[in-house]
Structure 1
């Protein structure tokens, strides 16, 4: 009987992890679909580059709204149920993009897709944080972030296969397939024991779920703001590097499109390795030391792009920067989850990270300005300063234990 229970427990954990990886992978795939299709959409509808770029901004606004809405709903009504709804919304809105006849419809569908995608990060991270032991929380959530990168890789492969034959519309219509996969992964998956216990013991079953609880005391408010700053820096570094560097190096080193793809692959490999290792380090050394090391390394590593003089050094630099600057992304689900109790854990993850995504997503505008007015050295200095700000934030936060063995703000 004990053996069966252990097997069932292990099976449940694997399904929770797989579903969370799948959810973030769908989000990554959806974002990359737009990246590959954007130039064609701009040409087909005869819009300006600014109007085309607004599609991404509108998606981020949807994510911010969806993160807040579905974070609260998941804490109140259950992670699995709401998680499935978010993926359904994202997949259907993405598929309907293939039938859009004007840019207004594109904007509306991207906003709706963003609403669905905005709920996936926090809910998935909350599920994993509750299903696995706290001493293994970071290494487990690191696999979820790797799932997001795998979604981007899948999108690149699908774009290479589908775009030449079926065009950008066929690429988005493919978004319906993940709905079927989501159903198969989540079939018969119950809620986490921790969430069910919280609902059973809370008065009137409401769990006191509210965004206001992220600011219910001076200490909680400080933690929420500090984590939002760190999330903003994380997203700003990612979008700033990934959006601009391919075009920069095409001009600086004469890099071809295939060369840019190799750089992207090298960087993603570095990211995945960094994420997996960061999770292990954070579980063993704690959040403060782990983030401190990676943030300082990131502040220095971005300058490797300044001195890159060949495609080989560029590929190596991409892997190193990806390892440190984006490897840290693996820890945010565990870090945020360790500060907030069960009844607002999904809300906290979604609100904090999506707010960081909304603000940090503006970094390509700043970097573009710095590149136009100054140089790549100044642009990288800007990112380096951001990482140092995040470093100061994490080292001055009080109450971060050596290992995440309790919910710090839980009363």
Structure 2
């Protein structure tokens, strides 16, 4: 297997485990709420705390990956993620659940940006869209795997058994470390004096006015992406169990249908991105997402719910495929992992608050209001995307700043 394919396989596996872990929360939510006697808002806080951990871990591991190597730090982040996930299954109170989810988030936050940086550095620009889409599909493999495991494990072993599966990433971490070499592009960059270990700094994401606008716009887009995903996937299975009278197995079928739509959307998005350009592709998908989410509020019946879920997944989460290539292409190699991890995990942390708000909306209003809220978010993301412009002097000025600071 050549190096390009290895980077994709490693990144896909990492996102698969992460996607599985996130959906474990969704399927286990009702059991956790019942066991610890908490409100729906407190339940939504579990996901939010996980995403805050992702922001902290993503920033730390992103900087470390730019300084000390992609593969080495990628391995450590997965090990920490596995430990936090497994410990969640041993929690005896909600305080411990929150703590262990934060630890899991620290590790999960690091692997996304590092994996995307590896892929961006291994693939040519005219194929980065589809390569990024291949990686992003990993999260949906995780969703499907979580749905299947939940249907089998929850009725017998309960929610704790799900999280003990988190020990699996430990084996994966050692396999990655053994079979994946360091990024040749990163190794070459380290030979240049201006790209020494002190170069990765958060302020480099705001080194020029144009770069600052780009960083903020990308952070808004990432926030909306995560807010939409969490708002849909965290609460809808539980909501369908209550409003439509679906069993855990049937709601798992809805989740699988939605995930299949997401996979198809991601593959399509990657192809469109390479052929028609980033801004045009995001414009189409963001507009369609706002419309699809709003109309889905009026779906009824099992067939409409399944097909509608697939359509919503196709557009709203098909866009997830482009973020790795999108963010990576706006920043030079010396801060690529830092930028990707920090920006996307900022979106995870802020967008991760969405389950709290959606839970509040569902508790005091109805699903139509909740879906309307998500539709508005996609319109905001569309405006942020329109503002994106590349700063031709960005890379040059960052290198100058780095060189000066190294003296």
TM above 0.5, yes or no, is yes
User: CA 1:252 to 1:175, structure 2 compared with 1: closer, same or farther past 3 Å?
Assistant: closer
What value does the CA root-mean-square deviation take over the aligned residues? 2.2
In 2, Cα distance between equivalents of 1:394 and 1:146: 22
Matched, 1:168 2:159: yes
Matched, 1:326 2:326: no
* 3-state SS of paired residue (1:180): helix
* 3-state SS of paired residue (1:307): coil
User: Which string of whole-angstrom CA distances, capped at 9 and with x for unpartnered residues, describes residues 56-110 of structure 1?
Assistant: 2221211111011001001111110000000000112222333334433332222
Quick one: which of 296, 304, 308 aligns to 2:295?
304
Shift of 1:377: 3.3
TM-score (normalizing by structure 1)? 0.89
8 Å Cα contact 1:244-1:364 kept in structure 2: yes
Partner of 2:140: 149
Equivalent pairs counted in the alignment come to 396
User: CA 1:385 to 1:51, structure 2 compared with 1: closer, same or farther past 3 Å?
Assistant: closer
Shift of 1:324: 0.5
Partner of 2:81: 90
Within-5 A mapping of 1:6-405: 11-203=2-194, 205-206=196-197, 208-250=199-241, 253-372=244-363, 374-399=365-390
User: CA 1:248 to 1:165, structure 2 compared with 1: closer, same or farther past 3 Å?
Assistant: closer
Greater RCO (Cα-Cα under 8 Å, separation 6 or more): 2
* 3-state SS of paired residue (1:309): coil
* 3-state SS of paired residue (1:259): helix
Shift of 1:111: 1.2
In 1, Cα distance between equivalents of 2:328 and 2:124: 12
8 Å Cα contact 2:62-2:342 kept in structure 1: yes
Shift of 1:11: 1.6
Shift of 1:253: 4.4
Q: Which is further off, 37-46 or 382-391?
A: 37-46
In 2, Cα distance between equivalents of 1:150 and 1:52: 24
In 2, Cα distance between equivalents of 1:379 and 1:48: 18
Partner of 1:4: none
In 2, Cα distance between equivalents of 1:35 and 1:104: 18
Partner of 1:410: 395
Q: Which is further off, 257-266 or 279-288?
A: 257-266
In 2, Cα distance between equivalents of 1:398 and 1:122: 21
Identify unmatched segments of 5+ residues in structure 1: 1-9, 401-406
8 Å Cα contact 1:22-1:182 kept in structure 2: no
In 1, Cα distance between equivalents of 2:160 and 2:201: 39
Shift of 1:215: 0.9
Shift of 1:36: 3.0
TM-score (normalizing by structure 2)? 0.90
* 3-state SS of paired residue (2:190): helix
In 2, Cα distance between equivalents of 1:252 and 1:161: 23
